[in-house]
Structure 1
Amino acid sequence: MSRADRPAGLNRTLIGLLGVALLVAGGLAIAAHYGRLWWVDEHSTLVPGTEAPPTWVLWAVVAGAVVLGLLCLRWLLAQLFRMPKSARWRSEGSAWPGSTVLESSTTAEPVAADVEGYEGVRSASAWVSGRRTQPRLHLLVTAEPAVDVSALRERIMSHAVARLREALEVETVAVTMELRFTEDKKVARVN
């Protein structure tokens, strides 16, 4: 699994664990209903007595629901932005004393601007992660459905990525590109 897909793996794991927990709880409830659990009396009530629960129980349920709702909201927001955070690159100068600090996000902006200028591309976002000597470029490109995907990929690799390699003075840049289409809602992933 690539670094850009880590949230997806975590999501699958958490959703899988939640599904298993719900299946177990449902199975136990059905088994209790039919008297298959030795520690549960099938004729007993769910809670003892017929009185309303204490006020603190109601507040605890409300607090639990609020926390669960906030966690779900956080999970939903994490789905919107899945790219790696930018890093700070430091270059030591050989001719002059001192160093240069560059945010990796600064190097990604021109790449996104280049890709947005290509024919058939509606929008593009770019992130650069990794070390300065081994950068990884992550692209999210939204294109028109009629665009030639192989020609677009070739143009990105031969122009935008080549310019990034030249600017960073590196021989290779690992590229991950996610291509989305405006009308058809299809997603194609090209590595």
Structure 2
Amino acid sequence: MNRFLLGLLGLVLLLAGAFAVVVHFGRVPQVDRSAALVPGTVLPPAWVLWVVAAAAVVVALLCLRWLTAQIPRRKVVSWRWEEEAGTTRLSTATATAPFTEEVTAYPGVRKVETALTGPHTAPRLALVVRAHGDADLRGIRRRIDDEGLPRLREALDAPGLQAIVEFRMTSSKGDARVH
């Protein structure tokens, strides 16, 4: 729904802009291109123009922020431990690979994406679990909490590791797809 409304708004703005250009070049005979757009010829007070300009800048910055939020972030992070014997580095992708494979093997799960963020002293785990439409989501979540997470906590020596799980449903295993 969100993408549909954004697309519809973009289409309306594009058509309005195209109409303004066509009128400007005099291609619409019913509209006098030299006529005033609004009645009256007096400019508004200067403060109104400044408020409109400031609002336009704020809207533009919000749009840029929204646009940058759409860029997927797949940053590989390394944890580093320094001890007397030397330095140890561990990629967070490597740390979560066995956990990801384990959860992917659960019944009803198609694919799992994991992101381990934060420092190794206070890590946070985000999971996106793509499951079949007929999958038992409670059962998957229970297995993650009871089996997968305890093993990952032990392997990372992070007893306070919490996980945020997002489920995305796909068509069930038996459904045929028509392209």
Q: Same fold (TM over 0.5)?
A: yes
Check the 8 A contact 1:142/1:180 in 2, yes or no.
Answer: yes
TM, length-normalised to structure 1: 0.54
Q: 1:86 aligns with which of 61, 70, 76?
A: 76
| Greater Cα shift, 165-174 or 83-92 | 165-174
How far apart are 1:20 and its partner, in Å? 7.7
In the alignment, structure 1 residue 167 sits paired with structure 2 residue 155: yes
2 CA distance for matches of 1:174 and 1:37? 65
Q: 1:28 aligns with which of 20, 37, 60?
A: 20
State the identity as a percent.
32
Residues 137, 25 of structure 1: CA spacing in aligned structure 2 closer, same or farther, 3 A cutoff?
A: same
How far apart are 1:154 and its partner, in Å? 1.7
AA at the equivalent of 2:111? S
How far apart are 1:15 and its partner, in Å? 7.0
Q: 1:139 aligns with which of 113, 127, 136?
A: 127
1 CA distance for matches of 2:16 and 2:122? 46
| Greater Cα shift, 23-32 or 105-114 | 23-32
AA at the equivalent of 1:161? L
TM, length-normalised to structure 2: 0.57
Structure 2: runs of 5+ lacking an equivalent: 37-66, 173-179
Listed one character per residue, the Cα deviations across residues 59-95 of structure 1 (whole Å, up to 9, x for unaligned) are xxxxxxxxxxxxxxxx9xxx8x9353120110122xx
| Residue in structure 2 matched with residue 109 of structure 1 by the alignment | 97
In the alignment, structure 1 residue 153 sits paired with structure 2 residue 141: yes
Length, aligned pairs only:
134
How far apart are 1:112 and its partner, in Å? 0.6
How far apart are 1:37 and its partner, in Å? 5.2
- Stretches (4+) displaced over 6 A: 14-17
Secondary structure of the residue that 2:123 maps to in structure 1?
strand
| Residue in structure 2 matched with residue 4 of structure 1 by the alignment | none
| Residue in structure 2 matched with residue 97 of structure 1 by the alignment | 85
2 CA distance for matches of 1:88 and 1:36? 62
2 CA distance for matches of 1:24 and 1:163? 58
How far apart are 1:131 and its partner, in Å? 1.8
